[in-house]
Chains A and B, each alone.
Chain A
Protein backbone atom coordinates (compact mmCIF):
# COMPACT_ATOMS: atom_id res chain seq x y z
CA UNK A 1 0.00 0.00 0.00
CA UNK A 2 1.24 3.47 -0.76
CA UNK A 3 1.14 4.70 2.85
CA UNK A 4 3.57 2.10 4.16
CA UNK A 5 6.11 4.72 5.09
CA UNK A 6 3.59 6.45 7.38
CA UNK A 7 3.09 3.27 9.35
CA UNK A 8 6.84 2.84 9.46
CA UNK A 9 7.08 6.38 10.83
CA UNK A 10 4.59 5.56 13.60
CA UNK A 11 6.45 2.39 14.46
CA UNK A 12 9.85 4.08 14.55
CA UNK A 13 8.64 6.98 16.67
CA UNK A 14 6.97 4.74 19.24
CA UNK A 15 10.17 2.74 19.34
CA UNK A 16 12.12 5.98 19.80
CA UNK A 17 9.96 7.21 22.65
CA UNK A 18 9.87 3.90 24.49
CA UNK A 19 13.46 2.80 23.95
CA UNK A 20 14.55 6.41 24.25
CA UNK A 21 13.57 6.38 27.89
CA UNK A 22 14.08 2.72 28.75
CA UNK A 23 17.20 1.95 26.75
CA UNK A 24 20.64 1.85 28.40
CA UNK A 25 22.91 4.84 28.07
CA UNK A 26 26.61 5.33 28.73
CA UNK A 27 27.63 7.13 31.89
CA UNK A 28 28.58 10.64 30.82
CA UNK A 29 29.66 13.55 32.97
CA UNK A 30 27.38 16.59 32.96
CA UNK A 31 25.04 15.06 30.38
CA UNK A 32 23.79 12.16 32.54
CA UNK A 33 20.27 11.15 31.49
CA UNK A 34 19.92 14.16 29.18
CA UNK A 35 21.99 12.36 26.55
CA UNK A 36 18.63 10.87 25.66
CA UNK A 37 17.87 14.20 24.01
CA UNK A 38 20.09 12.86 21.27
CA UNK A 39 17.02 10.99 20.03
CA UNK A 40 14.85 14.11 19.92
CA UNK A 41 16.81 17.33 19.53
CA UNK A 42 19.32 16.12 16.96
CA UNK A 43 16.79 14.49 14.59
CA UNK A 44 14.94 17.83 14.41
CA UNK A 45 17.94 19.25 12.58
CA UNK A 46 18.36 16.22 10.36
CA UNK A 47 14.72 16.61 9.42
CA UNK A 48 15.23 20.30 8.64
CA UNK A 49 18.30 19.57 6.53
CA UNK A 50 16.46 16.86 4.61
CA UNK A 51 13.41 18.99 4.01
CA UNK A 52 15.36 22.08 2.98
CA UNK A 53 17.30 19.97 0.53
CA UNK A 54 14.07 18.57 -0.94
CA UNK A 55 12.73 22.11 -1.11
CA UNK A 56 15.86 23.15 -2.97
CA UNK A 57 15.40 20.32 -5.46
CA UNK A 58 11.83 21.40 -6.20
CA UNK A 59 12.97 25.01 -6.51
CA UNK A 60 15.50 24.01 -9.13
CA UNK A 61 12.91 21.85 -10.85
CA UNK A 62 10.59 24.84 -10.97
CA UNK A 63 13.28 27.01 -12.51
CA UNK A 64 13.84 24.43 -15.20
CA UNK A 65 10.24 23.70 -16.18
CA UNK A 66 7.97 26.36 -14.63
CA UNK A 67 5.43 23.88 -13.24
CA UNK A 68 3.66 25.65 -10.39
CA UNK A 69 3.26 22.27 -8.69
CA UNK A 70 7.00 22.33 -8.00
CA UNK A 71 6.77 25.73 -6.37
CA UNK A 72 3.95 24.52 -4.12
CA UNK A 73 6.12 21.62 -3.01
CA UNK A 74 9.21 23.76 -2.52
CA UNK A 75 7.29 26.13 -0.26
CA UNK A 76 5.61 23.38 1.73
CA UNK A 77 8.85 21.52 2.45
CA UNK A 78 10.51 24.78 3.45
CA UNK A 79 7.66 25.61 5.80
CA UNK A 80 7.80 22.33 7.64
CA UNK A 81 11.59 22.40 7.57
CA UNK A 82 11.46 25.78 9.26
CA UNK A 83 9.08 24.41 11.89
CA UNK A 84 11.49 21.59 12.67
CA UNK A 85 14.34 24.08 12.85
CA UNK A 86 12.36 26.09 15.39
CA UNK A 87 11.75 22.93 17.39
CA UNK A 88 15.43 22.10 17.12
CA UNK A 89 16.55 25.45 18.44
CA UNK A 90 14.01 25.51 21.29
CA UNK A 91 14.82 21.96 22.39
CA UNK A 92 18.50 22.79 22.09
CA UNK A 93 18.00 25.72 24.39
CA UNK A 94 16.33 23.53 27.00
CA UNK A 95 19.17 21.02 26.76
CA UNK A 96 21.70 23.85 27.06
CA UNK A 97 20.07 25.19 30.22
CA UNK A 98 20.40 21.78 31.81
CA UNK A 99 24.01 21.15 30.77
CA UNK A 100 25.74 24.46 30.04
CA UNK A 101 23.78 26.38 32.64
CA UNK A 102 22.27 28.91 30.23
CA UNK A 103 19.29 29.01 27.85
CA UNK A 104 21.49 30.71 25.27
CA UNK A 105 25.19 31.39 24.89
CA UNK A 106 25.87 34.36 22.65
CA UNK A 107 29.47 33.43 21.90
CA UNK A 108 28.47 30.00 20.72
CA UNK A 109 29.13 29.63 17.00
CA UNK A 110 26.74 26.76 16.36
CA UNK A 111 23.89 28.57 18.05
CA UNK A 112 24.55 31.75 16.10
CA UNK A 113 24.68 29.70 12.93
CA UNK A 114 21.40 27.99 13.68
CA UNK A 115 19.66 31.26 14.55
CA UNK A 116 21.04 32.95 11.44
CA UNK A 117 19.91 30.01 9.28
CA UNK A 118 16.39 30.33 10.63
CA UNK A 119 16.46 34.05 9.84
CA UNK A 120 17.61 33.28 6.31
CA UNK A 121 14.56 31.06 5.84
CA UNK A 122 12.25 33.52 7.55
CA UNK A 123 13.36 35.98 4.87
CA UNK A 124 12.40 33.37 2.24
CA UNK A 125 8.81 33.42 3.52
CA UNK A 126 8.73 37.19 3.74
CA UNK A 127 10.00 37.32 0.17
CA UNK A 128 7.22 35.02 -0.99
CA UNK A 129 4.64 37.08 0.84
CA UNK A 130 5.72 40.22 -0.97
CA UNK A 131 4.58 38.99 -4.38
CA UNK A 132 1.08 39.00 -5.78
CA UNK A 133 1.97 37.50 -9.11
CA UNK A 134 2.28 33.75 -8.67
CA UNK A 135 4.85 33.19 -11.37
CA UNK A 136 7.15 35.94 -10.12
CA UNK A 137 6.77 34.69 -6.58
CA UNK A 138 7.76 31.21 -7.63
CA UNK A 139 10.73 32.34 -9.67
CA UNK A 140 12.24 34.72 -7.12
CA UNK A 141 11.76 32.39 -4.20
CA UNK A 142 13.26 29.51 -6.18
CA UNK A 143 16.41 31.54 -6.80
CA UNK A 144 16.55 32.70 -3.18
CA UNK A 145 16.05 29.14 -2.05
CA UNK A 146 19.37 28.18 -3.65
CA UNK A 147 21.28 30.84 -1.73
CA UNK A 148 19.33 30.00 1.40
CA UNK A 149 20.32 26.36 1.35
CA UNK A 150 23.97 27.08 0.69
CA UNK A 151 24.00 29.57 3.57
CA UNK A 152 22.17 27.07 5.75
CA UNK A 153 24.84 24.43 5.20
CA UNK A 154 27.67 26.90 5.72
CA UNK A 155 26.12 28.36 8.87
CA UNK A 156 25.45 25.14 10.73
CA UNK A 157 27.86 22.65 9.22
CA UNK A 158 30.95 24.47 7.97
CA UNK A 159 31.64 27.48 10.17
CA UNK A 160 30.99 25.68 13.47
CA UNK A 161 33.48 22.99 12.52
CA UNK A 162 36.18 25.55 11.82
CA UNK A 163 35.78 27.38 15.08
CA UNK A 164 38.25 26.47 17.80
CA UNK A 165 36.15 27.30 20.82
CA UNK A 166 32.72 25.86 21.36
CA UNK A 167 30.44 24.19 23.87
CA UNK A 168 28.41 22.36 21.29
CA UNK A 169 29.19 18.69 20.56
CA UNK A 170 31.10 18.34 17.32
CA UNK A 171 32.56 21.85 17.30
CA UNK A 172 35.54 23.72 18.69
CA UNK A 173 37.51 20.69 19.76
CA UNK A 174 34.63 18.86 21.45
CA UNK A 175 34.04 15.26 20.52
CA UNK A 176 31.36 15.16 17.90
CA UNK A 177 28.23 13.27 18.63
CA UNK A 178 29.95 10.72 16.48
CA UNK A 179 31.86 9.61 19.50
CA UNK A 180 28.59 9.48 21.44
CA UNK A 181 26.88 7.45 18.83
CA UNK A 182 29.90 5.20 18.66
CA UNK A 183 28.26 3.84 21.78
CA UNK A 184 26.13 1.10 20.24
CA UNK A 185 23.50 1.50 22.93
CA UNK A 186 22.83 5.00 21.66
CA UNK A 187 23.12 4.06 18.04
CA UNK A 188 20.32 1.48 18.05
CA UNK A 189 17.84 4.14 19.06
CA UNK A 190 19.42 7.13 17.35
CA UNK A 191 19.36 5.83 13.78
CA UNK A 192 15.70 4.69 13.87
CA UNK A 193 14.85 7.98 15.58
CA UNK A 194 16.42 10.04 12.81
CA UNK A 195 14.53 8.08 10.18
CA UNK A 196 11.28 8.27 12.15
CA UNK A 197 11.43 12.02 12.68
CA UNK A 198 12.40 12.65 9.05
CA UNK A 199 9.48 10.50 7.91
CA UNK A 200 7.16 12.49 10.18
CA UNK A 201 8.39 15.78 8.77
CA UNK A 202 7.86 14.49 5.22
CA UNK A 203 4.38 13.26 6.15
CA UNK A 204 3.37 16.67 7.46
CA UNK A 205 4.81 18.29 4.33
CA UNK A 206 2.80 16.05 2.02
CA UNK A 207 -0.36 16.95 3.92
CA UNK A 208 0.40 20.64 3.48
CA UNK A 209 0.96 20.11 -0.24
CA UNK A 210 -2.32 18.25 -0.70
CA UNK A 211 -4.18 20.93 1.25
CA UNK A 212 -2.67 23.70 -0.86
CA UNK A 213 -3.62 21.93 -4.08
CA UNK A 214 -7.19 21.39 -2.97
CA UNK A 215 -7.54 25.02 -1.89
CA UNK A 216 -6.35 26.11 -5.31
CA UNK A 217 -8.67 23.75 -7.18
CA UNK A 218 -11.63 24.77 -5.02
CA UNK A 219 -10.81 28.42 -5.55
CA UNK A 220 -10.75 27.92 -9.31
CA UNK A 221 -14.02 26.00 -9.26
CA UNK A 222 -15.65 28.73 -7.18
CA UNK A 223 -14.67 31.41 -9.65
CA UNK A 224 -16.19 29.53 -12.57
Chain B
Protein backbone atom coordinates (compact mmCIF):
# COMPACT_ATOMS: atom_id res chain seq x y z
CA UNK B 1 0.00 0.00 0.00
CA UNK B 2 1.22 3.51 -0.77
CA UNK B 3 0.38 4.70 2.72
CA UNK B 4 2.42 1.85 4.22
CA UNK B 5 5.43 2.93 2.17
CA UNK B 6 5.24 6.58 3.24
CA UNK B 7 4.88 5.56 6.88
CA UNK B 8 8.06 3.48 6.54
CA UNK B 9 10.18 6.40 5.26
CA UNK B 10 8.76 8.74 7.86
CA UNK B 11 9.52 6.18 10.56
CA UNK B 12 13.13 5.86 9.38
CA UNK B 13 13.51 9.65 9.49
CA UNK B 14 12.22 9.77 13.03
CA UNK B 15 14.64 7.12 14.25
CA UNK B 16 17.83 8.01 16.05
CA UNK B 17 16.17 10.91 17.88
CA UNK B 18 15.33 12.40 14.49
CA UNK B 19 19.02 12.93 13.79
CA UNK B 20 18.42 11.04 10.56
CA UNK B 21 16.25 13.93 9.45
CA UNK B 22 19.21 16.27 9.95
CA UNK B 23 21.53 14.03 7.98
CA UNK B 24 19.13 13.79 5.08
CA UNK B 25 18.70 17.56 5.11
CA UNK B 26 22.46 18.13 5.12
CA UNK B 27 22.89 15.59 2.32
CA UNK B 28 20.24 17.38 0.28
CA UNK B 29 21.97 20.71 0.77
CA UNK B 30 25.29 19.17 -0.17
CA UNK B 31 23.78 17.62 -3.28
CA UNK B 32 22.30 20.97 -4.24
CA UNK B 33 25.68 22.61 -3.92
CA UNK B 34 27.37 20.00 -6.08
CA UNK B 35 24.65 20.13 -8.71
CA UNK B 36 25.16 23.88 -8.83
CA UNK B 37 28.93 23.47 -9.14
CA UNK B 38 28.58 21.06 -12.04
CA UNK B 39 26.12 23.42 -13.69
CA UNK B 40 28.70 26.21 -13.50
CA UNK B 41 31.33 23.80 -14.84
CA UNK B 42 29.25 23.03 -17.91
CA UNK B 43 28.52 26.71 -18.53
CA UNK B 44 32.18 27.60 -18.31
CA UNK B 45 33.16 24.75 -20.60
CA UNK B 46 30.63 25.97 -23.14
CA UNK B 47 32.01 29.49 -22.97
CA UNK B 48 35.56 28.19 -23.26
CA UNK B 49 34.59 26.34 -26.45
CA UNK B 50 32.94 29.47 -27.79
CA UNK B 51 35.98 31.61 -27.16
CA UNK B 52 38.29 29.06 -28.73
CA UNK B 53 36.39 29.36 -32.05
Bound-state CA distance A21–B47 (Å) is 39
Bound-state CA distance A207–B22 (Å) is 30
In this complex, what residue of A is CB-closest to B46?
A: A214
Bound-state CA distance A221–B52 (Å) is 11
Q: Among B16, B27, B41, B47, which residue has its beta carbon within 8 angstroms of that of A18?
A: B27
In this complex, what residue of B is CB-closest to A211?
A: B44
Does more than half of chain A's interface fall in helix, strand or loop, or is it mixed?
Answer: helix
Contact B23 A17 (CB under 8 A): yes
Known A207-B41, A211-B44; contact A13-B51, beta-carbon cutoff 8 A: no
Min distance, Cβ B45 to any Cβ of chain A, angstroms: 9
Bound-state CA distance A214–B49 (Å) is 10
Cβ of B30: which chain A residues have Cβ within 8 Å of it? 13-14, 17
Known A214-B51, A218-B51; contact A203-B37, beta-carbon cutoff 8 A: yes
Cβ of B27: which chain A residues have Cβ within 8 Å of it? 14, 17-18
Q: A17-B27, A207-B40 are in contact. List 6 more A-B contacts (CB 8 A).
A: A18-B27, A21-B23, A22-B19, A207-B37, A210-B44, A211-B44
Complex A-B, nearest 10 residue pairs according to Cβ-Cβ distance, in ascending order = A217-B51, A17-B26, A214-B47, A210-B44, A21-B23, A10-B34, A207-B40, A17-B30, A214-B51, A18-B23
A-B contact pairs, 29 of them (CB 8 A): A10-B34, A13-B30, A14-B27, A17-B23, A17-B26, A17-B27, A17-B30, A18-B23, A18-B27, A21-B19, A21-B22, A21-B26, A22-B16, A22-B19, A22-B23, A203-B37, A204-B37, A207-B37, A207-B40, A207-B41, A207-B44, A210-B44, A210-B48, A211-B44, A214-B44, A214-B48, A214-B51, A217-B51, A218-B51
